[in-house]
Amino acid sequence: MTKMGISIYPDLETQQKWIDYLELAAHYGFTRIFESLLQVEQLEKEQIIHKYASINQAAREMGFEIIVDVAPTILKKVGVTPFDLSFFHTLGVNGFRMDEGYSGIEESIMTCNPYGLLVEINASVYSHYADSILDYQPVRSRLIGCHNFYPQRHTGLSIDHYRRTCAKFKTLGLRLAAFITSQNKNSFGPWPVNDGLPTLEIHRDLPVDCQITHLLAIGDIDDILISNCFPTEAELASIQTVFGPVPTFNVILDKRTSAIERKIVFDEMHISRGDVSDMLIRSTLPRIKYTENNIHLFNPAKMIRRGDVVVNSVHYDKYAGEMHIALQDFPNTGKSNVVGHIQSEELIAIDEIKPWQKFKLRMVEEK
């Protein structure tokens, strides 16, 4: 993982409001900004610079990387050509995202700009567009991708299409970003239609930390950006707790769970075994580390349910201490403790864990 990000729309709020938001986001470790010019076609070039440049300067001083979203009509208005990207340098951004592109050679020329600007392309449509740009020998390190967000309900990407497009970009070795949506009822985006702004349709009504965990479990993503404004401070804090190099699942813990089992569940980075099962995810390293500890039965529930977190007891002999996450319902052998349950909104993510994939667990509450 590289960056957590936010989005800003300077024409829709006061400068002070944006500065306050930037300071709060920086406090919680956010380091990237998506900024849109698509909705300011009525402004002239000088007006855009006046409205945006000072906010961008403040953001850069806080350590943010800024990518601004543009379209051909905007590029024409501000005098941008493949050979002249000085407008973006004056605007004070690190790069620009082309919601619509050219033929490939133009984008390759743009990557050779003297300002070190990043050229970001749309990743949500599966095509050979990125391949075409690469055929024209761009400065590869300056070419990146970013998915769309979708304000209209039912229009977000399917998981299968998202996987396919992400795999395409990662096969090409390109940095890639996607959007999640705040659940703050008072949030807004760049357009009047605003029923959440996710990349994936299945994320539209999920808590932000669950969206993050799902994207991390799927993999093939670098930067994750909140698309709408303003998320609550609680949402920013929850993202900080789960954003990282491996997915982190929230667990509702049985309060009877022993200290040893708590260490097994929460203190270890878990590794899904390479020989996978349809029934459960196996984390076997804890059974080696905690082999000398007596793990007694306290909750050998008759049925293990999908999403249950399970630790084998001493009755499993050499398998004692092994931790499982159930992928399906099945009867307990009577030798394992059900110590908790993955938060229900995150159950979509447990199916994404692959052989040898690493993950962590985090306690959110006890019952």
We report the CATH number of the domain holding residue 332 as 2.40.100.10
Q: How far is CA 21 from CA 9, 72, 209, 223, 361, in A?
A: 12, 29, 19, 19, 30
**Structure confidence by residue, pLDDT tens digits, 243-278:** 999 999 999 999 999 999 999 999 999 999 999 999
Burial class (CB in 10 A: 0-12, 13-18, 19+), 234: exposed
Angle at which helix 208-218 crosses helix 159-171, to 10 degrees, equals 50
Within this chain, do residues 92 and 135 fall inside the same structural domain, yes or no? yes
Q: Which of 278, 150, 162 is nearest to 218 (CA)?
A: 162
Host domain of residue 301 = 250-366
Within this chain, do residues 229 and 254 fall inside the same structural domain, yes or no? no
End position of a domain, from candidates 212, 245, 278:
245
Within this chain, do residues 216 and 280 fall inside the same structural domain, yes or no? no
In this prediction, residue 175 carries a pLDDT of 97
212 Cβ neighbours under 8 A, 6+ residues apart: 180, 224, 239, 242, 243
Within this chain, do residues 134 and 86 fall inside the same structural domain, yes or no? yes
Question: How far is it, in rounded angstroms, from Cα 119 to Cα 233?
Answer: 31
Please report, for the domain that includes residue 219, its CATH number.
3.20.20.70
Cα first-last separation, the chain: 33
Residue 65: both structure tokens together = 């990387």
Within this chain, do residues 116 and 102 fall inside the same structural domain, yes or no? yes
End position of a domain, from candidates 196, 225, 245:
245
Within this chain, do residues 223 and 86 fall inside the same structural domain, yes or no? yes
Within this chain, do residues 95 and 180 fall inside the same structural domain, yes or no? yes
In this prediction, residue 194 carries a pLDDT of 79
Please give the model's pTM, rounded to 2 decimal places. Answer: 0.94
Within this chain, do residues 267 and 229 fall inside the same structural domain, yes or no? no
In this prediction, residue 344 carries a pLDDT of 95
pLDDT < 70 regions, the chain = 1
Number of structural domains found in the chain = 2
Within this chain, do residues 236 and 264 fall inside the same structural domain, yes or no? no
Within this chain, do residues 354 and 263 fall inside the same structural domain, yes or no? yes
Q: How do beta strands 223-226 and 4-8 pair?
A: parallel
